C-alpha cells in the first residue's frame, strides 16, 4: 500500500469560461447558464445552453461553456464533440483551447493536453492555468528545466501561489538543485503554517524524495490542524515506518483503525511495523484480517505467505 493523497493541495484550475456575459444590454443564454451554475443548477444550465444553440448553433461561448459542463459530469465523449464544433468557429480562442486542455487532462490524455496548453500560451504567454498545467506535465515527465520555464512565465500572484511553489520545488529537485528545492518547501511551511493542504502536500513531496524523517515531522505539523484526519494519520504512519520510528508509526496506524477498524491500508501498515520489530505473529494477525477484507490484493498474499 502506498501513499494516500486525498488531501493534496490545489487542483490547478477548473474550466475557465470566456468573458462578456451580457450582450446588447440584455441577459444572454450564456449569462443565464452561468448564473444557474453558480447556484449549482447544472442540468438547468445545460438545458438553457442547448435550447439557445438550436437557434444559434455557432455561438462559440455557449459551446465552450457547454463543454465544461459536460466535462464536469465526466461526459467526456459528448464534451469532445462540443469542443470540436467550437474550434471550427473560434480556432484561436485561448479560453476554448484552455478548456480543451483541461478536458484532455481530465481524460488522462496528457500529450493532447500539453498540445492544447501550448496553443494557449501562443496567444497568452502568461496564462496561469495553461502554464501551471504545462509545468505539472513537465514534472511528471521528469523535464525539470522545462517546468521551470513555464513557471517563470507566470505573473504575480500566480507565481507565488502554493501550487506554483510546490511545482517549482519539484522542478528544482529534478534539475539537481536540492538545496534550493528544500528552501522552497521550507518557505511554504513558514508562509502557510495553518494550511493543512499545503503542509500535507509538502510532506508528500518529501516522501517522494525519500526524506522520511522530514516528512514525518511535516505530517505531524499537519496533524496538529486536523488531529483526527485518517489520511494524514496513515501517511504519517507510513513515513514514520520508513524512517524507523516504529512507535510513532504504530500509534498513527492504531489511531486510523480506532476510527475505521476495517481500513485495509492501516491494517497492512501496522502489520509492516510489527514485522519490522520481529513480532511476526502479531503481523500475521493484522494481515489475516486485511486478507479477509481484500482477498485479492497480491501484496497482502505475498506478505502473509512470507
Q: What is the pLDDT of residue 9?
A: 37
Helix/strand/coil (H/E/C) assignment for every residue in the chain: CCCCCCCCCCCCCCCCCCCCCEECCEECHHHHHHHHHHCCCHHHHHHHHHHHHHHCCCCHHHHHHHHHHHHHCCCHHHHHHHHHHHHHHCCCCHHHHHHHHHHHHHCCCHHHHHHHHHHHHHHCCCCHHHHHHHHHHHHHCCCHHHHHHHHHCCCCCHHHCHHHHHHHHHHHHHCCCHHHHHHHHHHHHHHCCCCHHHHHHHHHHHHHCCCHHHHHHHHHHHHHHCCCCHHHHHHHHHHHHHHCCHHHHHHHHHHHHHHCCCCHHHHHHHHHHHHHCCCHHHHHHHHHHHHHHCCCCHHHHHHHHC
Q: What is the pLDDT of residue 160?
A: 97
Q: Residues 20-52: pLDDT tens digits?
A: 333 333 579 999 999 999 999 999 999 999 999
Q: What is the pLDDT of residue 137?
A: 98
Query: Considering the entire predicted model, what is its pTM?
Result: 0.85
* Domain made up of 204-306: CATH architecture: Alpha Horseshoe (1.25)
pLDDT surpasses 60 at 170: yes
Q: What is the pLDDT of residue 97?
A: 98
Q: Residues 275-289: pLDDT tens digits?
A: 999 999 999 999 999
Q: What phi and psi, each to the nearest 5 degrees, are found at residue 26?
A: -110, 160
Q: Residues 93-137: pLDDT tens digits?
A: 999 999 999 999 999 999 999 999 999 999 999 999 999 999 999
Going by pLDDT thresholds of 50, 70 and 90, the confidence category of residue 303 is: confident
Q: What is the pLDDT of residue 298?
A: 80
Quote the Cα angle for 181-185-191, to 5°: 140
Average pLDDT score over the chain: 91
pLDDT more than 90, % of the chain: 86
CA 45 vs CA 40, 55, 58, 223: distances in Å: 9, 16, 18, 40
Amino acid at each position: 500500500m502506498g501513499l494516500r493523497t486525498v488531501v493534496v493541495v490545489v487542483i490547478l484550475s477548473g474550466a475557465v469560461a470566456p468573458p462578456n456575459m451580457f450582450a446588447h444590454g440584455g441577459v444572454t443564454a450564456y449569462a443565464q447558464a452561468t448564473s444557474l451554475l453558480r447556484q449549482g443548477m447544472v442540468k438547468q444550465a445545460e438545458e438553457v445552453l442547448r435550447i439557445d444553440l438550436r437557434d444559434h448553433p455557432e455561438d462559440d461561448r455557449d459551446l465552450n461553456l457547454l463543454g465544461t459542463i459536460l466535462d464536469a459530469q465526466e461526459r467526456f465523449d459528448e464534451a469532445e464533440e462540443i469542443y470540436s464544433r467550437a474550434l471550427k468557429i473560434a480556432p484561436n480562442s485561448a479560453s476554448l483551447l484552455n478548456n480543451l486542455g483541461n478536458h484532455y487532462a481530465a481524460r488522462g490524455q496528457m500529450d493532447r493536453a500539453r498540445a492544447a496548453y501550448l496553443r494557449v500560451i501562443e496567444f497568452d504567454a502568461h496564462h496561469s492555468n495553461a502554464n501551471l498545467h504545462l509545468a505539472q506535465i513537465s514534472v511528471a515527465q521528469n523535464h525539470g528545466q522545462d517546468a521551470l520555464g513555464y513557471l517563470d512565465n507566470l505573473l504575480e500572484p500566480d507565481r507565488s501561489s502554493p501550487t506554483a511553489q510546490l511545482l517549482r520545488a519539484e522542478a528544482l529537485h529534478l534539475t539537481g538543485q536540492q538545496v534550493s528545492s528544500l528552501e522552497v518547501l521550507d518557505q511554504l511551511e513558514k508562509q502557510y503554517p495553518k494550511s493543512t493542504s499545503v503542509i500535507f502536500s509538502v510532506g508528500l513531496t518529501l516522501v517522494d524524495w525519500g526524506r522520511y524523517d522530514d516528512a514525518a515531522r511535516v505530517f505531524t505539523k499537519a496533524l496538529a490542524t486536523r488531529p483526527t484526519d485518517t489520511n494524514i494519520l496513515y501517511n504519517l504512519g507510513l513515513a514514520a515506518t520508513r524512517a524507523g520510528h516504529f512507535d510513532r508509526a504504530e500509534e498513527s496506524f492504531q489511531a486510523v483503525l480506532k476510527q475505521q477498524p476495517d481500513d485495509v491500508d492501516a491494517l497492512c501498515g501496522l502489520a509492516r511495523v510489527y514485522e519490522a520489530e520481529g513480532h511476526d505473529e502479531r503481523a500475521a494477525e493484522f494481515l489475516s484480517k486485511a486478507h479477509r477484507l481484500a482477498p485479492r490484493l497480491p501484496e497482502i498474499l505475498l506478505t502473509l505467505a512470507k
